Amino acid sequence: MGFVICTSACAGCGRLFAFNPNKVPSIVIDGEREPVCKSCIDAANPKRIAAGLQPFVIQPDAYEPLPEEELA
């Protein structure tokens, strides 16, 4: 049994971060889903709430390794 962890630059801030590829929050840019780090989600949520929008929901294991058998 192994684990999978992806790394990428955040679509918001550009910093490199690690994430679970099945659960990380993402946004669509030019038709492609791009991952967003927890810091950017945490910064965006108060602005979304103030604008009357629903906050982004972070799944508990979005930034943790994924068991390899769950890789989609």
What is this structure's pTM? 0.87
Residue 1 predicted with pLDDT over 80: no
Q: Residue 55 has what pLDDT?
A: 96
Q: Tell me the average pLDDT across 11-38.
A: 96
How does residue 25 score in pLDDT terms, banded at 50, 70 and 90? Answer: very high
DSSP conformation letters of 34-47? EE--HHHHHHHHHH
Q: Domain map of the chain by residue range?
A: 3-70
- φ/ψ of residue 32, rounded to 5: -115, 140
